[in-house]
Every structure is written in C-alpha cells, then in structure tokens.
Structure 1
Amino acid sequence: MSPPQSEPADYEIVDVDANAIQAMSLWRSPSLARSFGAGRLAPETTVSIGDVVSVSIWEASRDGLFGSGSSSDSGSSSETLPGQTVDRDGHIKVPYVGEISVVGKRPSQIAKTIEQGLTGKAIEPQVLVTLPQRTSASVVVVGDLTGAGRVNLNVKGDRLLEVIAQAGGIKAPPHETFVRVTRGKRSTTMQLSSVLARPDENIFMRPGDTVYVFRRPQTFTALGAVKSAGEMPIDRDDFTVAEAMGVSGGLIDSLADPSGVFIFRYEQAAVVRQIDPQSPYLNGNTVVPVIYRLNLKDPSGYFVARAFPIRVGDIVYVANAPGAEFTKFLRMAQTISTLVRSNAVVSTSD
C-alpha cells in the first residue's frame, strides 16, 4: 500500500499496534457540555415578553391607597391586581407607580421596584409578584419523537433527557438517535447513547432552546475479499474490527490476504498527532486522511482487532492474497476454453 516514492502520499499510513489503540482514547465526539456548559445550574426564573405577571400589594392600614380591597382583623388591607401580559416593550403598569420594566428581572426584583415606587404613597407597602403563566419558559422539541411541540420548563430546571421524555420519547434505538441542541447562534449535535452514558452531557435546558431529535443509521462499508461486501450496520456503541469482520461474513479463505486488512478514515488531528507528531498532514487541519493497516497473520492482530474501534463512515478493505489474481486468471481461462470447445463441437456437428 506504500505509494510510489516519486509521488507524495495524500494520506497517513498507520500500522495498528498497541500505541495506535492507545491513541484512539484521544478521539472526541461532539459535546453538549463543552458547547453549553456542564456545571451550570438551572436558569433563574426571570420575566420575558409574553409572560403573565400577577402583583399583590399589602398595606399596614385599611385607610391606605388600597383600602378598598380585602382587609384583615389586624387592620391591614391588600389588593391583587389583574394579571398582566408583559408587552413587547417589556413593561407592565402598576397603579400609583406607573409603567415599569420587568423583562429579565426576577419576581423579587420587580416586587422591590414596586415597593420603592409606592414609598410615601402607600402605608408600609409589601408586594408579592408571581408568574401564573410563563409562556416564554419553554423549549421547542421536534423531530423523530412519539410527540413533539413546545415543552414548558419547571422552576426547578429541566435537563435535556427530561424534555425529550416530556415530548413523548424516542422511536429509534439510542445508538441511531441524535440530538441537536440550538441555543441562540450555537448548535451542537450529539449521539443520544453518548448522552445516556455521560451524565455531564445531560445539560439544563434554557428558555428558547430548540431540540431536534433525528435518526441516522450507523454504517460502515466492507470491501474486498469478504463474504458479504457492501454497507453494513453498526449495531452497538463499542463496535470493533472484529465485529466488522463478523457482520461482513468473514474473510474468503481462498482469496483474502489476512495481513492486508485496511481501514480508511478521516481521523481527528489529535489522534494522528499522538501516533505521529511529525506527520506532514497535520498543518492546522482538524481531520487527516488515514489508512490503518492491520495484520491478522500475526496472532496478536486478533487482540488488536477486538480493541480497534470502527467509526461511522469507515471503509474496511480486505486485500486479495498474492496468488488470488492468478487464480482468477486461471478460472477465466478455463471458462474461455470451455466456451471455445463448445463452439468447436457445434461447428463439427454442423
């Protein structure tokens, strides 16, 4: 497989051994935690446009501004204002206070602002602000689910898997299901099975997030001297060369060269750098075309085959044995000879 010396190779060639297997640990899948933060707490409850805000005001005397409302035996009075939907400008109106900005503020902050506005007008006012309807605190979940739509977030905070469950759950197996989270201008896609295996990836959702769940069959391509060539499924997370040989039917004994099992892949630069720090194909590239070469004639090659991972999109090629082409030629020659003899017999009988 070495290219001619006069022409530089456009790919890295790596003989698979223990060092190459160890370098595989540097491979990184996309990460929701790296994109959006794993250790962040659930988002605070703040007001957004479209939310309904309820304001209740208490005074220390029945003779205050809001004395016409309900009162208690202690002589205090209270008034609960009709719920107000936050307008496009982010404001609500409170009697004797006027128009106040509430977007992005916590209910306790809004209550303090109203109390300050009533100081000197009401008698020792105390204010409670609640959000009976938070239309803005929701996540849109779409895609390959049993249900889809808008999922309202709880005050305690909801994580990704909780939101997916509330939307009805998935239809496909986790290793074939992918989740794309979009927050603002940032979007990251991750395999659901990886989210299940790594709790840090089960991030908190924030109002306005979009979650797209879709199915992507996981396959590799088997070519060469294997019994079943073509596109083959990857049906588990830890899928190795050994499993790849199994699902493709194994090697054809009369044709295959066990010392020539090749895996073609665009490899992450961090992995290539670990294998060959001087590789000329790094040069700032994020991926490098690599051909991994595995020798199954060496008994240790079978242990390597059980440890070397197959990634989605890999091409696994098993080379023909040196004598395989000659065997093909003999078969072709025998076929041609048989046809010639058959034609000769027909001509003689005529």
Structure 2
Amino acid sequence: MCRIKTATYRSGLSHVAVQHARVLGIMATLAVLSACSLAPGERMVQPPTLPVSNTDDGQATGAQQVPITDITLATVQQLRQQQPTVVSGGANDLTPLFGDAGPYKIGPGDVLQITVWDHPELAAALGQPIGPTRAADPTLGFVVDHEGNVQFPYVGSLHVAGESTEEVQRRISGDLGKVMVKPQVTVRIASFRASQIYIDGEVRAPGSQSINDIPMTLTEAINRAGGFAPTADQGRVVIVRGDKTYFVDVAQMLHNNQNPSKIVLQNGDLLRVEAREDYGVYVMGEVNKPATVLPMRNGKLSLADAISQAGSINPTSADAKQLYVIRGGPDKQPQVWHLDATSPVSMLLAKQFELEPKDVVYVDAGGLVRFSRVLDLLLPLINAGLTGAIIAK
C-alpha cells in the first residue's frame, strides 16, 4: 500500500515538473519575441508620435510625428551652421555694448581733492575727521552734491557733473585768477562713488564695483571680481542694461579673435556669470556611471564628452548601435538623433556633435540583456508557484 502511494506521489511530481517546463518554455519564448519587438532603432518601421497641445488650457488637439535622424557628417554641419557666431544683428545684437572708454566723468557723490599751491589757508576747506570713521564715510574733500555742484572758496558753486578733472581744474584756475596771481591748482578724485556696476554669479568675489578712471570693460569687471570661479560657464555671461538683456559668449569671442575688452560697461549695469550646473545634460541607460554631466568651462559639451564623463558605454550590457540624443522642451520642437557607436567613424561624429542644455543621452541595452532581465523578474514568480504546487500536492 505504501509503495502505491509513493509511486503516485512521484508521478504527480513529475507531472508538475513537466507542466513547469512547458510554462517556462512558453514564457521564455514570449519574452524573447517581446524583447526583439521592443528593440528601438532600425527595427522601428514608423517613428513615434507625441501629443502636442495647441490650446491655452493645455489639452492635446493633435499628434505630431517625431522622426529619428541619424547623426552623420551632414547633420553635424547643418547643426553647426544654425548656431549663432556673430555679435551683431539678430535678437542678441551686442553692438550697443561695444565702444571706446573715454576719460572718467565726475558725477554726484564723487569726492574731489582740490589743492591750490602756496595757499595753505585753503587746505582747511577740505575739512577734518570728526570722531571715528567708517568704511561707508566719504573721504575728506569736496563732495559733489546730488545736483552735480561743488562748493569752493572764492569760486562759489561750480557745476562739475559730466566733466573731467582737467576741465574742472581749468575752470577753477580761471575763477581764482580773478583774485590771485597765477594760481596753481590740482584737481583729483579722492573717492569714486557716482557710478557702479553689480557683478553676480560664478565669480570669486561677487558684489558692486565702482567705476573709476580705469575703463570698466568686461574683462576688467571680471578681474575685479576675482576672475571666473571653477564652476563658471564662460560661454554664458549675461549683461543687463536697463530693460535689455545681452548674452555674451566670452569663450566664443576669444575663439573668433574678438576682444571682450571692447565691451564697455556703464553705470547701473548688471553682470552675471552663469553656473555650469544649470546647463547639464542627462546621460542614461547602459553607461557605467549614469549621471547629469556638466558642460566644459567654455560652455560647450559634445556627445563624446558626455559619454566620457558618464564612464563610457558599458561593454557588457549596452547595444552600441542604439545610442540616442533626445532634445525637446515646452517651447521647442521635439527631436531625436541616433548614432551607431560601433562604427569607427562614430566617435569622430560624437566629438563634433554639440549637445544643448537638458538634452537626454540614452544608450539602449542589448536584446540578450533585456531577455535576461525579464527572466530575472519571472523566475522568482515561477519558483514560488512551483513551490506552492509541490506543497499543495
């Protein structure tokens, strides 16, 4: 009796194993077929479609095809021609920023030091410090008032705003010549407080900088702020003047043999140096170190640079033929580029293909790797089901 039961149990177990093998074979076949059918790239017969919103309430009113374009030498040259390389014309015309800096013009708030030689009694007009001084206190001298006037003995009120020190010196000498014999007058600016600019962003010492007798050019302003910080994007320097904003690519200007010192800043200008971390590119998929990679210090980032910063393509799991660059945004036309990274020429194309901020670089996995990952998900369920069947039996 016991032998009959044992045989029956073994027969049932064998039947369960056979059923398990059949189920596993069917699921493996389906997984292989599905993995092959989902592989992107050249296997795709029709390009994907994305809904596009054409109404104010954000509802999609239609569908728009997003074709996949292969990265070739012609594609790289076409994209390079679309990049702006001039500083005049267009929406970002930098012509108003260029000019020749002349002599410093006196303005309200400046402190003048006026010396009349051989007349020490006029030195008392400079004043004497009263109590401890602070950094914000003006230097001893003649302060130009808000109307641009200055008071001096034997001369009275003199309007000096908008004039150079040489012009003021000649005017004071002429007025003092009416009461003195050949007066020798020296005029210099003891404190520059009339004009200043504001420097913000990725510089070593951000803050306000006073405009003095040294022309406040773009390079002079950056040098006074301690130079670019290591996190600075030298390709994205913003100058705000009044109600207009200008975008200056310092690295590109140097590449084009254009001197940034020709850009002269004015009173009230805001200079901001953008950070590289604000213009990163996302590298995903089968790379060794998926991450958000940052552009170089000149603001440029090629596809080869992005792959290199992500630790290169994973040789054990990636399908190097399926490398994609996905570009798009709320106000941009979606675009997808494809590169076969197995070709020897592909790295040359990747080096010349310039990425834009917020681009997505995606490296797809190989078919066998995806099949293996599907099995990794299914096998625990199959094993659990088999174990439950054995226990129930």
TM bracket (short chain): 0.5 to 0.7
- CA shift at 1:13, angstroms? 4.6
Q: Determine the C-alpha separation between the residues in 1 that align with 2:390 and 2:282.
A: 46
Alignment-mate amino acid for residue 146 of structure 2: R
Structure 1 unaligned blocks of 5 or more: 59-67, 71-77, 268-284
Quote how far apart the aligned CAs of 1:227 are.
4.2
The equivalent of 2:218 in structure 1 is 160
Counterpart of 2:11 in structure 1 is none
What is the letter of the counterpart of residue 209 of structure 1? D
Aligned residues of 1:183 and 1:208 also touching (Cα < 8 A):
yes
CA distance in 2, matches of 1:236, 1:139: 24
Structure 2 equivalent of residue 221 of structure 1: 282
Report sequence identity in percent: 20
Q: Which residue of 2 aligns with 1:314?
A: 359
Return the offset for 1:294.
1.9
In the other structure, the counterpart of 1:232 is: 293
Unaligned runs of 5+ in 2: 1-45, 52-61, 127-140
1:15 maps to 70
Checking the alignment, whether the CA contact within 8 Å between 1:174 and 1:193 is kept in structure 2 is no
Q: Which string of whole-angstrom CA distances, capped at 9 and with x for unpartnered residues, describes residues 198-228 of structure 1?
A: 7623434444434445644252112334444
Task: Give the structure with the higher percent helix.
Answer: 2
Aligned pair partner of 1:295 in 306, 315, 340: 340
The count of residues paired between Structure 1 and Structure 2 equals 314
Q: Which amino acid aligns with 2:358?
A: G
Higher relative contact order (CA 8 A, sep 6+): 1
1:293: Cα distance to partner? 2.2
- d(CA) in 1 for partners of 2:50 and 2:242? 51
Q: Partners in 2 of 1:159 and 1:337 — Cα distance?
A: 72
Tell whether 2:303 aligns with 1:245: no
Q: Secondary structure at the match of 2:301?
A: coil
CA contact (8 A) 2:284 2:291 kept: yes
Which AA in structure 1 matches 2:269?
Answer: D
Question: Please, which moves more after superposition, 239-248 or 322-331?
Answer: 322-331
- Aligned partner of residue 260 in structure 1, secondary structure: strand
For the residue of structure 1 that corresponds to 2:189, the secondary structure is: strand
Alignment match, 2:326: 264
Larger of the two Rg values belongs to structure: 2
Q: Is the 8 A contact 1:172 1:215 kept in 2?
A: no
Residues 20-35 of structure 1 correspond to what in structure 2 (within 5 A)? 20-26=75-81, 27-28=83-84, 34-35=93-94
Q: Is the 8 A contact 1:145 1:169 kept in 2?
A: yes
Matched, 1:133 2:195: no
Q: Does 2:111 correspond to 1:52?
A: yes
Query: In 2, distance between residues paired with 1:111 and 1:183?
Result: 32
Q: Kindly provide the amino acid, as one letter, of the partner of residue 110 in structure 2.
A: D
Instruction: Tell me which residue corresponds to 2:260.
Output: 201
Q: How does 1:56-71 map to 2 (within 5 A)?
A: 69=119
- 3-state DSSP class of the match of 1:246? helix
TM-score (norm. length: structure 1): 0.68
Once residues 92 and 264 of structure 1 are traced to their aligned partners in structure 2, the CA distance between those partners, rounded to angstroms, is 64
Superposition map of 1:75-114 within 5 A:
82=126, 83-94=141-152, 98-111=156-169, 113=171
The two structures have a TM-score, normalised by structure 2, of: 0.62
Partner of 1:277: none
Tell whether the 8 Å contact from 1:226 to 1:248 is kept in structure 2 after alignment.
Answer: yes
